[in-house]
Amino acid sequence: MRRWIKPERRYFIINIDEPYAEEIYKVLKRGEARKGKWPEGDISFEEWIELTWPNEGVTLQKESILGAERPKPSKKRGIARIKRRV
């Protein structure tokens, strides 16, 4: 299920490889099914990922969801700095 982001609304945005993503999926599915707006039927989280992002390299994300270790962040990473012109 994909939807367009509408102006004047507030959203949560999460990565599907977060450890809590499957729980969020269950809440979303239950709520949308109650409203009659869940077109995918009774499918698992993994099936939903494959249907929603069929050709977008979800395999790596799915492996992460299913327990593969996540790469450790590089020590070279830091806080992004935005330069402002005065």
36 falls within a domain: yes
Q: Is residue 5 part of a domain?
A: no
Q: Mind listing the pLDDT tens digit for each residue in 11-33?
A: 888 898 899 999 999 998 999 88
Residue 58 is assigned to a structural domain of this protein: yes
* Domain with 58 in it: 23-65
pTM above 0.85, yes or no: no
Total structural domains within the chain = 1
The rounded distance, in Å, linking the Cα atoms of 23 and 7 is 26
Residue 13 forms part of a structural domain = no
For residue 3, tell me if it sits in a domain. no
Q: Is residue 80 part of a domain?
A: no
Calculate Rg over the CA atoms of the chain. Answer: 17
Instruction: Please tell me the predicted confidence (pLDDT) of residue 76.
Output: 53
pLDDT at position 37 is 86
38 part of a folded domain: yes
Query: Which pLDDT score is estimated for 60?
Result: 46
- Residue 78 belongs to a domain: no
* pLDDT at residue 82, as a whole number: 58
* CA distance to 32, 52, 53, 56, 57, per residue, from 39 (Å): 9, 12, 15, 21, 23
Query: Is 71 a residue whose pLDDT tops 60?
Result: no
Which of 8-22, 49-63, 70-84 has the weakest average pLDDT? 70-84
